[in-house]
Amino acid sequence: MLSRSAQSLYWLGRYLERAGNLCRLLQLQSESLVDRPVREIHFGWNRIYKYVQRDPPGGEIQLFGDEEYVLADSFALADDMTFERTNPSSVYSCFAQGRENARHTRHCISPEVWTCLNASYLRLQQQNMASVWRWEPRAFYQELVTDIETFGGLAECTMYHDDRWSFLQLGRLVERAQGAATLLLSQIDTAIASSQQEFHEEDWTSLLRVFYALEVYNHAYTVAVLPDRVMDLLVSDPLLPESLGRSVGLIGSEIASIGSGPYSRSGRALQRLVGRLSSMINYEWPDEEERVALLRDISGGADELHFLITEAYFDYPIQEPA
Protein backbone atom coordinates (compact mmCIF):
# COMPACT_ATOMS: atom_id res chain seq x y z
CA MET A 1 0.00 0.00 0.00
CA LEU A 2 1.06 3.63 -0.44
CA SER A 3 3.21 4.93 2.39
CA ARG A 4 1.05 8.06 2.77
CA SER A 5 -2.04 5.89 3.26
CA ALA A 6 -0.21 3.72 5.78
CA GLN A 7 0.95 6.83 7.64
CA SER A 8 -2.58 8.29 7.75
CA LEU A 9 -3.98 5.04 9.14
CA TYR A 10 -1.20 4.90 11.71
CA TRP A 11 -1.93 8.45 12.86
CA LEU A 12 -5.67 7.83 12.84
CA GLY A 13 -5.10 5.05 15.36
CA ARG A 14 -2.78 7.21 17.45
CA TYR A 15 -5.09 10.22 17.65
CA LEU A 16 -8.17 8.20 18.58
CA GLU A 17 -6.28 6.24 21.24
CA ARG A 18 -4.89 9.49 22.66
CA ALA A 19 -8.35 11.03 22.78
CA GLY A 20 -9.70 7.97 24.60
CA ASN A 21 -6.94 8.07 27.22
CA LEU A 22 -7.53 11.76 27.87
CA CYS A 23 -11.31 11.35 28.06
CA ARG A 24 -10.98 8.63 30.70
CA LEU A 25 -8.70 10.88 32.76
CA LEU A 26 -11.09 13.83 32.41
CA GLN A 27 -14.07 11.65 33.27
CA LEU A 28 -12.46 10.63 36.57
CA GLN A 29 -11.38 14.20 37.22
CA SER A 30 -14.92 15.52 36.70
CA GLU A 31 -16.22 12.88 39.12
CA SER A 32 -13.73 14.01 41.76
CA LEU A 33 -15.12 17.57 41.65
CA VAL A 34 -18.36 16.40 43.28
CA ASP A 35 -17.20 15.30 46.71
CA ARG A 36 -13.43 14.70 46.77
CA PRO A 37 -10.91 16.71 48.83
CA VAL A 38 -9.18 19.70 47.25
CA ARG A 39 -5.83 17.88 47.47
CA GLU A 40 -7.10 15.02 45.32
CA ILE A 41 -8.52 17.38 42.70
CA HIS A 42 -5.22 19.27 42.60
CA PHE A 43 -3.29 16.01 42.22
CA GLY A 44 -5.52 14.88 39.35
CA TRP A 45 -5.05 18.05 37.30
CA ASN A 46 -1.29 17.99 37.77
CA ARG A 47 -1.22 14.35 36.67
CA ILE A 48 -3.17 15.15 33.50
CA TYR A 49 -0.90 18.03 32.51
CA LYS A 50 2.26 16.03 33.18
CA TYR A 51 0.76 13.22 31.09
CA VAL A 52 0.24 15.46 28.04
CA GLN A 53 3.52 17.30 28.76
CA ARG A 54 1.86 20.72 28.59
CA ASP A 55 1.97 23.69 30.94
CA PRO A 56 -1.47 24.58 32.32
CA PRO A 57 -2.96 28.03 31.63
CA GLY A 58 -1.23 30.48 33.94
CA GLY A 59 1.90 28.36 34.19
CA GLU A 60 0.99 26.28 37.25
CA ILE A 61 -1.97 24.87 39.16
CA GLN A 62 -2.36 26.52 42.54
CA LEU A 63 -3.73 24.62 45.52
CA PHE A 64 -6.44 26.72 47.14
CA GLY A 65 -8.50 25.78 50.15
CA ASP A 66 -11.65 27.47 48.85
CA GLU A 67 -13.81 25.13 46.76
CA GLU A 68 -15.10 28.02 44.62
CA TYR A 69 -11.58 28.62 43.35
CA VAL A 70 -11.15 24.91 42.70
CA LEU A 71 -14.30 24.73 40.56
CA ALA A 72 -13.40 27.90 38.64
CA ASP A 73 -9.90 26.61 37.94
CA SER A 74 -11.28 23.22 36.96
CA PHE A 75 -13.61 24.78 34.39
CA ALA A 76 -10.69 26.59 32.74
CA LEU A 77 -8.45 23.51 32.84
CA ALA A 78 -11.17 21.21 31.48
CA ASP A 79 -11.85 23.68 28.66
CA ASP A 80 -8.13 23.78 27.81
CA MET A 81 -7.90 19.98 27.68
CA THR A 82 -11.22 19.44 25.88
CA PHE A 83 -12.07 22.22 23.42
CA GLU A 84 -8.94 24.39 23.11
CA ARG A 85 -8.05 24.26 19.41
CA THR A 86 -4.55 25.65 19.89
CA ASN A 87 -3.78 22.76 22.25
CA PRO A 88 -2.60 19.87 20.04
CA SER A 89 -3.35 17.39 22.85
CA SER A 90 -6.95 18.50 23.53
CA VAL A 91 -9.79 16.08 22.90
CA TYR A 92 -11.12 18.28 20.10
CA SER A 93 -7.74 18.50 18.38
CA CYS A 94 -7.27 14.72 18.56
CA PHE A 95 -10.71 14.10 17.07
CA ALA A 96 -10.15 16.71 14.34
CA GLN A 97 -6.75 15.27 13.38
CA GLY A 98 -8.06 11.71 13.52
CA ARG A 99 -11.01 12.59 11.29
CA GLU A 100 -8.72 14.36 8.79
CA ASN A 101 -6.51 11.27 8.54
CA ALA A 102 -9.62 9.11 8.14
CA ARG A 103 -10.85 11.40 5.35
CA HIS A 104 -7.60 10.86 3.47
CA THR A 105 -7.96 7.09 3.76
CA ARG A 106 -11.69 6.51 3.26
CA HIS A 107 -10.76 3.95 0.61
CA CYS A 108 -8.88 2.00 3.30
CA ILE A 109 -11.47 1.94 6.09
CA SER A 110 -15.00 0.57 6.15
CA PRO A 111 -18.04 2.87 5.76
CA GLU A 112 -19.14 1.93 9.27
CA VAL A 113 -15.83 3.13 10.77
CA TRP A 114 -16.01 6.43 8.91
CA THR A 115 -19.65 7.02 9.89
CA CYS A 116 -18.92 6.38 13.57
CA LEU A 117 -15.92 8.71 13.65
CA ASN A 118 -17.58 11.46 11.61
CA ALA A 119 -20.75 11.43 13.73
CA SER A 120 -18.72 11.68 16.95
CA TYR A 121 -16.68 14.58 15.58
CA LEU A 122 -19.77 16.50 14.43
CA ARG A 123 -21.42 16.10 17.86
CA LEU A 124 -18.25 17.30 19.56
CA GLN A 125 -18.01 20.28 17.20
CA GLN A 126 -21.45 21.50 18.25
CA GLN A 127 -20.62 21.67 21.96
CA ASN A 128 -18.52 23.86 24.23
CA MET A 129 -17.34 23.73 27.82
CA ALA A 130 -20.12 25.98 29.08
CA SER A 131 -22.85 23.65 27.79
CA VAL A 132 -21.02 20.58 29.08
CA TRP A 133 -20.41 22.12 32.50
CA ARG A 134 -24.05 23.14 32.85
CA TRP A 135 -25.24 19.52 32.88
CA GLU A 136 -22.93 16.64 33.74
CA PRO A 137 -19.30 16.63 32.51
CA ARG A 138 -18.82 13.01 33.56
CA ALA A 139 -21.56 11.81 31.20
CA PHE A 140 -20.10 13.88 28.36
CA TYR A 141 -16.67 12.27 28.68
CA GLN A 142 -18.19 8.83 29.13
CA GLU A 143 -20.08 9.27 25.85
CA LEU A 144 -16.85 10.17 24.05
CA VAL A 145 -15.10 7.13 25.54
CA THR A 146 -17.97 4.94 24.32
CA ASP A 147 -17.72 6.47 20.84
CA ILE A 148 -13.99 5.71 20.66
CA GLU A 149 -14.46 2.16 21.92
CA THR A 150 -17.26 1.69 19.36
CA PHE A 151 -14.83 2.91 16.68
CA GLY A 152 -12.34 0.24 17.75
CA GLY A 153 -15.00 -2.47 17.76
CA LEU A 154 -16.28 -1.50 14.31
CA ALA A 155 -12.75 -1.47 12.93
CA GLU A 156 -12.19 -4.95 14.36
CA CYS A 157 -15.42 -6.35 12.93
CA THR A 158 -15.75 -4.58 9.56
CA MET A 159 -12.23 -3.97 8.24
CA TYR A 160 -10.30 -6.58 6.28
CA HIS A 161 -7.32 -7.57 8.42
CA ASP A 162 -4.57 -6.87 5.92
CA ASP A 163 -1.82 -4.21 6.07
CA ARG A 164 -4.42 -1.44 6.34
CA TRP A 165 -5.77 -2.92 9.54
CA SER A 166 -2.25 -3.58 10.84
CA PHE A 167 -1.15 0.04 10.44
CA LEU A 168 -4.31 1.31 12.15
CA GLN A 169 -3.78 -1.14 14.99
CA LEU A 170 -0.07 -0.35 15.16
CA GLY A 171 -0.87 3.33 15.74
CA ARG A 172 -3.30 2.51 18.53
CA LEU A 173 -0.84 0.14 20.22
CA VAL A 174 2.15 2.49 20.04
CA GLU A 175 0.05 5.29 21.52
CA ARG A 176 -1.23 2.90 24.19
CA ALA A 177 2.29 1.80 25.14
CA GLN A 178 3.63 5.35 25.24
CA GLY A 179 0.57 6.53 27.14
CA ALA A 180 0.83 3.78 29.74
CA ALA A 181 4.50 4.50 30.44
CA THR A 182 3.98 8.28 30.46
CA LEU A 183 0.93 8.08 32.73
CA LEU A 184 2.71 5.89 35.26
CA LEU A 185 5.65 8.28 35.34
CA SER A 186 3.24 11.22 35.62
CA GLN A 187 1.67 9.56 38.65
CA ILE A 188 5.08 9.12 40.28
CA ASP A 189 6.42 12.56 39.37
CA THR A 190 3.25 14.32 40.53
CA ALA A 191 3.49 12.60 43.90
CA ILE A 192 7.15 13.62 44.21
CA ALA A 193 6.50 17.21 43.12
CA SER A 194 3.68 17.62 45.64
CA SER A 195 6.07 16.56 48.45
CA GLN A 196 3.58 14.09 49.83
CA GLN A 197 4.73 12.71 53.14
CA GLU A 198 2.24 9.88 53.09
CA PHE A 199 0.80 7.46 50.56
CA HIS A 200 -2.69 8.30 49.26
CA GLU A 201 -4.49 5.15 48.20
CA GLU A 202 -7.20 7.02 46.30
CA ASP A 203 -4.66 8.43 43.82
CA TRP A 204 -3.54 4.94 42.81
CA THR A 205 -7.10 3.62 42.82
CA SER A 206 -8.06 6.25 40.24
CA LEU A 207 -5.06 5.20 38.12
CA LEU A 208 -6.33 1.61 38.13
CA ARG A 209 -9.72 2.87 36.95
CA VAL A 210 -8.10 4.69 34.02
CA PHE A 211 -6.64 1.35 32.90
CA TYR A 212 -9.88 -0.59 33.57
CA ALA A 213 -7.86 -2.60 36.06
CA LEU A 214 -9.43 -2.04 39.49
CA GLU A 215 -11.45 -5.27 39.56
CA VAL A 216 -8.49 -7.23 38.19
CA TYR A 217 -6.26 -5.77 40.90
CA ASN A 218 -8.74 -6.62 43.66
CA HIS A 219 -9.01 -10.16 42.38
CA ALA A 220 -5.23 -10.64 42.02
CA TYR A 221 -4.28 -8.95 45.29
CA THR A 222 -6.64 -7.44 47.87
CA VAL A 223 -8.76 -4.33 48.27
CA ALA A 224 -5.70 -2.58 49.74
CA VAL A 225 -4.13 -0.65 46.86
CA LEU A 226 -0.32 -0.43 47.05
CA PRO A 227 1.82 1.47 44.49
CA ASP A 228 4.31 -1.33 43.80
CA ARG A 229 1.54 -3.82 43.10
CA VAL A 230 -0.25 -1.33 40.87
CA MET A 231 2.92 -0.79 38.84
CA ASP A 232 3.53 -4.53 38.56
CA LEU A 233 0.02 -5.08 37.22
CA LEU A 234 -0.01 -2.17 34.76
CA VAL A 235 3.47 -2.86 33.41
CA SER A 236 3.90 -6.60 33.23
CA ASP A 237 0.49 -8.34 33.25
CA PRO A 238 0.19 -10.11 29.86
CA LEU A 239 -3.61 -10.43 29.99
CA LEU A 240 -4.63 -6.89 30.95
CA PRO A 241 -5.69 -5.17 27.66
CA GLU A 242 -4.25 -1.77 28.62
CA SER A 243 -1.01 -3.01 30.20
CA LEU A 244 2.35 -1.91 28.86
CA GLY A 245 3.56 -5.49 28.45
CA ARG A 246 0.55 -6.62 26.42
CA SER A 247 0.75 -3.54 24.19
CA VAL A 248 4.43 -4.17 23.40
CA GLY A 249 3.70 -7.83 22.65
CA LEU A 250 0.92 -6.91 20.22
CA ILE A 251 3.14 -4.29 18.57
CA GLY A 252 5.61 -7.08 17.82
CA SER A 253 2.84 -9.18 16.29
CA GLU A 254 1.67 -6.34 14.02
CA ILE A 255 5.23 -5.54 12.90
CA ALA A 256 5.79 -9.22 12.09
CA SER A 257 2.57 -9.20 10.07
CA ILE A 258 3.57 -6.09 8.10
CA GLY A 259 7.18 -7.15 7.54
CA SER A 260 10.42 -5.18 7.65
CA GLY A 261 9.24 -2.57 5.15
CA PRO A 262 11.04 -0.91 2.24
CA TYR A 263 13.89 0.30 4.47
CA SER A 264 15.01 -3.02 5.89
CA ARG A 265 17.74 -1.52 8.09
CA SER A 266 15.18 0.40 10.16
CA GLY A 267 12.85 -2.59 10.03
CA ARG A 268 15.46 -4.80 11.65
CA ALA A 269 16.25 -2.12 14.24
CA LEU A 270 12.53 -1.88 14.98
CA GLN A 271 12.25 -5.62 15.57
CA ARG A 272 15.29 -5.55 17.87
CA LEU A 273 13.83 -2.67 19.87
CA VAL A 274 10.52 -4.49 20.34
CA GLY A 275 12.43 -7.55 21.51
CA ARG A 276 14.47 -5.47 23.94
CA LEU A 277 11.36 -3.82 25.38
CA SER A 278 9.66 -7.20 25.76
CA SER A 279 12.72 -8.53 27.58
CA MET A 280 12.81 -5.53 29.93
CA ILE A 281 9.14 -5.99 30.80
CA ASN A 282 8.96 -9.79 30.97
CA TYR A 283 12.36 -10.65 32.43
CA GLU A 284 13.99 -7.55 33.91
CA TRP A 285 11.01 -5.95 35.63
CA PRO A 286 12.23 -5.83 39.24
CA ASP A 287 10.59 -6.53 42.55
CA GLU A 288 12.36 -3.72 44.38
CA GLU A 289 13.31 -0.06 44.10
CA GLU A 290 14.59 -0.15 40.52
CA ARG A 291 11.06 0.04 39.15
CA VAL A 292 11.08 3.77 38.39
CA ALA A 293 14.49 3.77 36.70
CA LEU A 294 13.57 0.81 34.52
CA LEU A 295 10.18 2.35 33.72
CA ARG A 296 11.95 5.48 32.44
CA ASP A 297 14.10 3.30 30.18
CA ILE A 298 11.00 1.51 28.90
CA SER A 299 9.30 4.87 28.28
CA GLY A 300 12.28 6.06 26.26
CA GLY A 301 12.18 2.86 24.20
CA ALA A 302 8.45 3.27 23.59
CA ASP A 303 9.08 6.79 22.27
CA GLU A 304 11.83 5.47 20.00
CA LEU A 305 9.38 2.97 18.51
CA HIS A 306 7.53 5.79 16.78
CA PHE A 307 10.64 7.16 15.09
CA LEU A 308 11.76 3.75 13.85
CA ILE A 309 8.26 2.98 12.52
CA THR A 310 8.27 6.30 10.67
CA GLU A 311 11.70 5.61 9.19
CA ALA A 312 10.93 2.02 8.25
CA TYR A 313 7.51 2.50 6.65
CA PHE A 314 6.78 6.16 5.88
CA ASP A 315 9.85 8.40 5.45
CA TYR A 316 12.36 5.88 4.19
CA PRO A 317 15.12 6.74 1.66
CA ILE A 318 14.48 5.81 -1.97
CA GLN A 319 17.64 3.74 -2.04
CA GLU A 320 19.26 2.09 0.92
CA PRO A 321 22.92 3.02 1.54
CA ALA A 322 25.42 0.32 0.69
pTM over the 0.85 mark: yes
Q: How high is the mean pLDDT of the chain?
A: 89
Q: How far apart (Å, rounded) are the C-alpha atoms in residues 182 and 196?
A: 20
Q: How far apart (Å, rounded) are the C-alpha atoms in residues 271 and 150?
A: 31
Q: How far apart (Å, rounded) are the C-alpha atoms in residues 180 and 174?
A: 10
Residue 112 has pLDDT above 90, yes or no: yes
Q: How far apart (Å, rounded) are the C-alpha atoms in residues 159 and 268?
A: 28
Q: Which amino acid is at 286?
A: P
226 three-state secondary structure: coil
Is there a domain that residue 222 lies in?
Answer: yes
pLDDT at res. 216: 95
Per-residue pLDDT tens digits for 19-34: 999 999 999 999 988 8
Q: What is the mean pLDDT of residues 104-118?
A: 96
Cβ atoms < 10 Å from Cβ of 286: 12
Is there a domain that residue 154 lies in?
Answer: yes
Is there a domain that residue 235 lies in?
Answer: yes
Q: How many domains does the chain have?
A: 1
pLDDT tier, 68 (very low <50, low <70, confident <90, very high otherwise): very low
Residue 48 has pLDDT above 90, yes or no: yes
Residue 159: give the domain boundaries. Answer: 3-314
Do 298 and 244 form a contact (C-beta atoms < 8 A)?
yes
Is there a domain that residue 321 lies in?
Answer: no
